[in-house]
Amino acid sequence: MSTSKTPGQVDRVKKYDTVVSSGQSALRALLTLNGGATIAFLTFIGHLSDTGALSSESSHLFVAALKMFIYGTFLGVLAYGTIFLTNCLSSIEHPKWAKPADVASYAMFVITVLLGFTSIGCFLAASRHAVEGLQTATKLVPT
Q: What is the mean pLDDT of each run of 10 residues along the chain (143 residues)?
A: 58 76 88 93 87 81 93 94 82 62 79 94 95 80 49
pTM of the model: 0.77
Q: What is the pLDDT of residue 139?
A: 72
**DSSP string covering 102-136, please?**
HHHHHHHHHHHHHHHHHHHHHHHHHHHHHHHHHHH
Q: What is the pLDDT of residue 3?
A: 55
Q: What is the pLDDT of residue 137?
A: 79
Q: What is the pLDDT of residue 121?
A: 97
Q: What is the pLDDT of residue 90?
A: 75
Cα 135–chain centre separation: 27
Beta-carbon neighbour count of residue 119 at 10 Å?
25
